[in-house]
């Protein structure tokens, strides 16, 4: 017996596209609202980590039973830098903002001394120290943005070359959708934006494109089959999505299984990273079906296909030639 999911599925995906537009719009709005709320509440649209703002981040392991309140007390009570629990029960992250004219090791040493001086804490271990100067943080922000824009540009060119321009445009629309959705989620849950988070967002670009390309590849193939160009585009695109649906589900499922293993067992260091990737896989799968393919259709409706454009061009040039003869 053969195990074959979604074989010969005939879901009318494109007929559902209006609902998908509404869904995406709602989720995007929630994300934008979260970003605006963040601007008001924490002064920045995302919760940037020390990688970007500059500053010092120290990870300490305290003895069993020491509470967050005690650590905060040791670090100066109300004036304490932000402290948060990290993974295991007794590990804490301390974040101190960059201070003008104060060397990093001074901040780190001061925090260490403060903890050491607290009678409530006793023996502790510094697991990790990170210091990033403010100028480096600003440079990293620029670099990340630049990397995203350049990778957009490069993939657009590649896809325009390999498919048609409208395929490239539709896949970029889907990718922008995915990134905005992810950024909205990051803003909503105030996931710390660090270098690995940026790497994860960039990976989402890759994954989303991967999924979209597999669907588009099938659309391209069906278009180039005999009679493909004359087929109703809605039914052709629907048929293509359904044909690759088993692959889409199986691949997303396998990737999610691996990522879930990472999430549950991979430890606190890569937790945020993994969450962003899981989100990216879900969003990327959704968008390849409900955003990229409808976008392709909408572009075709508004601007026509390449062959239609070619036909028009040929006609108009023929016209011009005719006009040119008498002169």
Restricting to residues 43-72, which ones interact with another protein according to CB under 8 A? Answer: 59, 61
For another protein, the binding residue among 14, 198, 275, 289 (CB under 8 A) is 198
For another protein, the binding residue among 24, 46, 129, 240 (CB under 8 A) is 129
Min dist CB 12 to another protein, Å, is 21
Positive or negative: CA dihedral 176, 180, 181, 185: positive
Stretch that binds another protein, among 33-41, 65-73, 154-162, 288-296 (CB under 8 A): 154-162
Q: Which CB sits closer to another protein, 38 or 252?
A: 252
For another protein, the binding residue among 128, 235, 315, 317 (CB under 8 A) is 128
Q: Is 221 in the site for another protein (CB under 8 A)?
A: yes
Whether the Cβ atoms of residue 166 and residue 304 lie closer than 8 Å to each other = no
Q: Which residues ranging from 243 to 302 are in contact with another protein (CB under 8 A)?
A: 243-244, 246-247, 250-251, 253-255, 257-259, 261-262, 264-267, 269-270, 273-274, 277
Q: Which residues ranging from 6 to 35 are in contact with another protein (CB under 8 A)?
A: 7
Q: Is 80 in the site for another protein (CB under 8 A)?
A: no
Q: In angstroms, rounded to a whole number, what is the distance separating the alpha carbons of residues 241 and 287?
A: 12
Q: Which CB sits closer to another protein, 32 or 256?
A: 256
The two tokens of residue 17 are: 């596209």
Stretch that binds another protein, among 206-214, 233-241, 288-296, 311-319 (CB under 8 A): 206-214
Name every residue whose Cβ is closer than 8 Å to that of residue 57 and which is 6 or more positions away in sequence.
49, 50, 93, 94, 95, 96, 128, 129, 130, 131
Q: Which CB sits closer to another protein, 191 or 200?
A: 200
Cα–Cα separations (whole angstroms), residue 161 to 151, 209, 307: 15, 15, 16
DSSP string of 183-234, one letter each residue? HHHHHHTT--B-HHHHHHHHHHHHHHHHHHHHHHHHHHHHHHSTTGGGS-HH
Stretch that binds another protein, among 178-186, 212-220, 282-290, 293-301 (CB under 8 A): 212-220
Q: In angstroms, rounded to a whole number, what is the distance separating the alpha carbons of residues 259 and 28?
A: 24
Min dist CB 40 to another protein, Å, is 28
Q: Is 124 in the site for another protein (CB under 8 A)?
A: no
Q: Is 242 in the site for another protein (CB under 8 A)?
A: no
Whether the Cβ atoms of residue 102 and residue 86 lie closer than 8 Å to each other = no
Min dist CB 217 to another protein, Å, is 4
Q: In angstroms, rounded to a whole number, what is the distance separating the alpha carbons of residues 312 and 308?
A: 6
Q: Is 310 left (phi over 0), alpha (psi -120 to 50) or beta?
A: alpha
């Amino acid at each position: 017996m053969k195990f074959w999911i979604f074989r010969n599925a005939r879901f009318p995906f494109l007929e559902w596209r209006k609902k998908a537009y509404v869904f995406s719009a709602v989720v995007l709005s929630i994300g934008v609202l979260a970003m605006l709320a963040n601007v008001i509440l924490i002064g920045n649209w995302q919760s940037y980590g020390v990688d970007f703002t500059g500053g010092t981040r120290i990870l300490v392991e305290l003895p069993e039973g020491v509470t967050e309140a005690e650590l905060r007390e040791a670090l100066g009570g109300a004036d304490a830098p932000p402290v948060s629990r990290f993974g295991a029960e007794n590990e804490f992250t301390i974040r101190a903002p960059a201070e003008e004219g104060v060397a990093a090791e001074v901040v780190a040493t001061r925090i260490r001394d403060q903890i050491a001086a607290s009678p409530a804490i006793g023996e502790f271990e510094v697991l990790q120290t990170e210091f990033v100067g403010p100028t480096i943080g600003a440079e990293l922000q620029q670099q990340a943005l630049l990397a995203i824009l350049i990778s957009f540009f490069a993939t657009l060119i590649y896809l325009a070359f390999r498919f048609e321009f409208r395929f490239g445009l539709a896949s970029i629309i889907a990718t922008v959708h995915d990134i905005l959705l992810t950024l909205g989620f990051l803003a909503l849950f105030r996931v710390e934006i660090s270098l690995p988070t940026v790497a994860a967002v960039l990976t989402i670009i890759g994954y989303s494109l991967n999924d979209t390309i597999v669907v588009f590849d099938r659309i391209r193939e069906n278009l180039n089959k005999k009679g493909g160009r004359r087929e109703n585009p809605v039914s052709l695109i629907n048929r293509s999505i359904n044909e690759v649906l088993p692959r889409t589900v199986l691949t997303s499922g396998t990737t999610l299984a691996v990522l879930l293993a990472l999430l549950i067992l991979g430890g606190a260091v890569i937790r945020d990273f993994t969450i962003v990737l899981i989100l990216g896989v879900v969003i990327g799968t959704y968008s390849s079906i409900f955003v990229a393919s409808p976008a392709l259709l909408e572009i075709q409706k508004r601007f026509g296909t390449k062959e239609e454009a070619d036909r028009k061009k040929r006609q108009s040039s023929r016209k011009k030639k005719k006009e040119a003869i008498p002169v």
